[in-house]
Amino acid sequence: MRKGVRAGLVGVVLVLGGLALGVLMAVVLGLAGVGGAGGGAPRSERPPEARVTGPFTAHRPPLRFQPEGVLPGALVARAAVLDGARAHVIGPERLTTVDLASGAVLWSVAPLAPVPDYLWDAPPEGPPVVTAVAGRRLVLAAFATGAGASELLALDADRGTVVHRIRWDGPEGSGAIRCTLVAVAGPEGAPARARTAVVSCVEGEYRTYGIPLSGRGPSWWVDGFQAGHALVGDRIAGDFALDDSGSFGGPARAAALDARTGRVLWRAAARPEHRSSEGALRPFSPFLLLAGPDVLDARTGRKRDLPGLRAEHPLILDCRHDGGDLTACAFLGSELAVHDARSGRRLWQWGGRTARDTFAPTLRGARDGLLYATEGPGTHLVLDGRTGAVLERRAGAAPVLVNAFAGLEEMAPGAYGTPLAVFRTRR
């Protein structure tokens, strides 16, 4: 081949090679530009991130979570309450405070009377209560001790020192097999004489007590009343049993008591099978109450006719109040809906009868305008409670309890005896 022809072929190859390399570089740069248009890789394609260590720090709003182990002593979500970067946990025979970053037990205090072994298997019905009394933060819990006196225990929430031990026997001297602190009524921060703890105990039948924090025992009690939920205006909602079966089954009548005096403020109509899922008394918000298929006004006990919450609507499986203006409810048939907590007005829904091919995510928790849900294995969502918009698809957890520092997730949702997973919030 002549030198001129050979040189021409080499030039063509070099030109084509340069063009190919340019195209390749353009594609790479183009892809990089697409990924960086939002300030980084798309959230669905995030690279693994460095693990955060050290003390828990606050992130508002809490949208993403990093696992940190399990919570010692907590075997069900309703046994715990978050308090900054700590958790207070009630067990059958002690009140424990845990540092969430290290998992260390900071203190653990038992009632004066030992709790017999046969009461240890009963799961707690409610968490400890954190409240301010006379400018001091307290954490409170109630304990039953079988044949002995029941006890209301109050600890300094920051130091673990005992502030109050209030003990009492039933009116006939009989002990309780279970006691639950339902609420501490009165203005937040007010002195002890203005604060009353409401405790519901099982003593053969249900009996509810009002216990002033400045006193030595109950100032009032109501027989046959199972207190369940705190409502607006220092009202306590619960059930009166209507037959000889006590409060363990059969028909019941929802009612509300004045937490300061024990006076019955209103009673609703009787409803059958109140222990079934269709008839249970459940909280909706401090302003509304679910009594079987009925929605009751917390102030008057009267029925409220609310679209989306009527008896003919699919069964409500779970409702979560966000601590503010919203209540999210999950319904049978893969429906998730959010309502105004005060009026009950429906703001939006996902799934249900209006969208046959759309399956709603599974509601796990709600707090401060955010909903935490799962959508299939390993998919954790954070939703805007007011609009339903998905804010985060890779949250890392769907906590049932959450604050700016941490989240607690049920490892087996709804099951007693399985640990609670601890997560720190992160950016």
Q: Which helix (H) or strand (E) holds 7?
A: helix 3-36
Q: What separation in angstroms does the CA of 267 have from each of 185, 270, 283?
A: 20, 9, 16
- How far separated are the first and last CA of the chain, in Å rounded? 67
Q: What b-and-e string marks burial along 191-215, b requiring 16 or more CB atoms within 10 Å of the CB?
A: ebebbbbbbbbbbebbbbbbbbbee
And the tokens for 198? 């409401």
Residue 9 DSSP SS3 = helix
- How is 147-158 classified by DSSP, letter by letter? TS-EEEEEEETT
- Rounded Cα distance between 396 and 67, Å, is 8
Q: What b-and-e string marks burial along 243-263, b requiring 16 or more CB atoms within 10 Å of the CB?
A: eeeebeeebbbbbbbbbbebe
What's the DSSP call for residue 397? Answer: -
Check: CB of residue 194 under 8 Å from CB of residue 234. no
pLDDT of residue 114: 86
**Cβ within 8 Å of residue 288, ≥6 positions away:** 295, 296, 297, 298, 304, 327, 341, 342, 344
Short-list 126, 175, 130, CA closest to 156: 130
Short-list 87, 190, 76, 73, CA closest to 130: 87
pLDDT of residue 170: 80
User: What secondary structure, in 3-state letters, does 111-149 show?
Assistant: CCCCCCHHHCCCCCCCCCEEEEECCEEEEEEEECCCCCC
Domains of the chain with bracketed CATH: 306-396 (2.40.10.480)
pLDDT of residue 377: 82
The residue type found at 342 is: R
Short-list 155, 182, 319, 194, CA closest to 237: 182
pLDDT of residue 376: 83
Residue 9 C-alpha from the chain's centroid = 74
Report residues of the chain scoring pLDDT below 70: 1-48, 122, 173-174, 242-250, 272-279, 353-357, 414-415
Reported residue count of the chain is 427
